[in-house]
Chains A and B, each alone.
Chain A
C-alpha cells in the first residue's frame, strides 16, 4: 500500500485556504460586514466552482491538450443531476451515475 506523505503538505495548504473563512468572523466580529455584492459573490462561488469541476472532469479527456469527451460519462452525470434534483440526496445520484456507466461499459457502448 502507498504510504507516502507527498500530498500531506497540500492538505495543510488547503487548510490555510479554508480556515480563515471559518474562523475570522468568529474571532474578529465585524469582518462579516462585507458589501452586499461581495457577499453575493461569495455565495455564488460554491456552485460555480463545483459545476466547473464537474464539467471539466466529464467533458474533457485527460490528454494534453485535452479533447472534448462525448461518451456515456456526460449522460451519467446528467442522470446524477436529475436524481439529486428529485431526491435532494447526493448518494442516490452518484449511485445512479455509476450504474449507468457500468451498464454501458458492460454492453460495450461506454
Chain B
C-alpha cells in the first residue's frame, strides 16, 4: 500500500493501488481522446466570439469548466454583461458542490493547502475517475487524483489553444462550424439528463428562454431559463416515488458516482 493513501474507508480493497492506477490511466486516456477534439471546438467557438488566444488559454486554465466556458463564449458573442455570465457560471457549475461533497471525506486527512489546490481540478471527469479509483482501493490516493485531473486538464487546454489557432485558417460558416457551439450545449445538456425531472427542467428552461429572449434579448432569456428551468423540474414528481438524493445528485445510497453524473462525464466536457 502506498504511503500516499489516507485511511478513508472500511473493508478490503478490491484491487491493489498499482492495479487500480493502471485502470485509471487507461480510463483517463479514453477521456483525453474525446476531451482534446471538444477542446478544439471550444477554441474555434471562442475565435468566433472574438476572444484572443490569451483569453482562450486563460479561460481554459483558470476556469477549467467546459460547460460554463462554452456558455461564456455564447454570452460574450450575444453581448451579455459579465455579471450575467458569472450568474450562469454559478448555475452551470453548481453540480461541483455535489462532487466536492462526495470526494471530501476521502481527502479528510490531507493538508488544507493540498485540498485548496485539488479543488480547482474537480471537474466531472476528475470526479468520475478519481472516485472510482478511491472506491476500488477503498482509500484516498493523491497520485491517482492527479492522474485523473491531468487526463482532462492537459487535452482540454491544449485542444482549446490549437482549436483557436487552427480556426483562423478555415471558413467557419461555410463548413457549418458555427453550429458546433449550440450543438455541443444541447448534447451536454442531454448528457446530464437522468430522469424526467431533468427533462422537464431542460424543456422548461427552453420554454422560458426562447420567448423571453425574443421579447427582452438573448441574455435575459438565457438567465431566466436557467433559473426557472430547475423549478419546472422540481414541480415534476420523481419517477417511482423517489429515493434519496445522494451527495452527487444521483439517487440511492451510493457514494456519489450516480448515473446522472456518469452520463454527464461521458458526454465530453470538463
- A and B from one assembly? yes
Tell me if B97 is interfacial: C-beta within 8 Å of chain A.
Answer: yes
Given contacts A25-B101, A49-B226, contact A97 B267 (CB under 8 A): no
Mark B223-238 against chain A: 1 for CB-CB distance below 8 A, else 0: 0011011110110000
B94 interfacial by beta-carbon distance below 8 Å = yes
The tally of CB-CB contacts under 8 A between chains A and B is 363
* A66→B212 CA distance, assembly (Å): 10
Instruction: Please name all residues of chain B whose beta carbon is closer than 8 Å to the beta carbon of A11 when the two chains form the complex.
Output: 55, 58-59, 62-63
A81 to B263 CA separation, bound complex (whole angstroms): 14
Interface of chain B, helix or strand or loop or mixed?
Answer: helix
* B54 A3 Cβ-Cβ under 8 A: yes
Closest CB in chain B relative to A34 CB, distance in Å: 8
Taking CB atoms and an 8 Å cut-off, the chain B residues in 200-225 that contact chain A are 201-206, 208-210, 213-215, 217-218, 221-222, 225
Q: Which residue from chain B places its CB closest to the CB of A74 in the assembled complex? A: B182
A103 to B222, CA, bound (A): 29
Which chain A residues numbered 22 to 76 have a C-beta less than 8 Å away from chain B? 22-27, 29, 31-32, 36-37, 39-60, 62, 64-68, 73, 76
| Least CB separation from B34: chain A residue | A91
Q: Which residues of B contact A (CB under 8 A)?
A: 34, 37-38, 41, 50-55, 58-59, 62-63, 65, 67-72, 74, 76-79, 82, 85-101, 103-105, 107-108, 112, 115-116, 118-120, 122, 165, 168, 173-193, 197-198, 201-206, 208-210, 213-215, 217-218, 221-222, 225-226, 228-231, 233-234, 244-245, 247, 249, 260, 263-264, 266-269
Interface residues of A (CB under 8 A from B): 1-8, 10-19, 21-27, 29, 31-32, 36-37, 39-60, 62, 64-68, 73, 76-77, 80-81, 83-85, 88-91, 93-94, 97-105, 110
